[in-house]
Amino acid sequence: MSMRARWGCVALVAYPLVELAIAAWLASIVGWWWVFVAFVAFLTLGLGVVRYALTATGQAWSAALSTWRPPNEADGQVLAITSGAQAPARRERPPAQTSLLVPAGLLIAVPGFLTTAGGLVMLFPPVRALIAGRLERAMRRGLSGQAD
């Protein structure tokens, strides 16, 4: 077993223990009732973010696809972007960044304060832009590696 796999197994076992320890520590300060209320509130918030994200992602993809026009046989173009003669009234977020709201909402909805913190951090647009950029670079590397 590789060292990376071993650390993955350790993290898989340690994660729920750390979440439970954080919940117990917080419960010793504020009480289990408030920890339960926080879990329910974060579950509700997370599912609301997922619902919003799915709607916003659909709208972002629809807006992105509406700027493309069908192939034109007369001039032999396969795909072209229409000229932006009329700019949209509001600036749309890129679909990749809007799509990252879904995992953020799911992280918030999962019971546990570490996952909730991670999901809340992912709600910030600069963080989503950073993650989207890294995902794009990783995908480009993967696609260029497959061509060889």
Residue extents of the structural domains in the chain: 31-82+90-147
pLDDT digits (tens, 9 = 90+) for 12-57: 999 999 999 999 999 999 999 999 999 999 999 999 999 988 887 7
pLDDT digits (tens, 9 = 90+) for 60-90: 777 777 776 554 444 444 444 444 445 445 5
Q: What is the DSSP code string of 74-114? A: TTTBS-EEPP-SS--SSPPPPHHHHHTHHHHHHHHHSSSHH
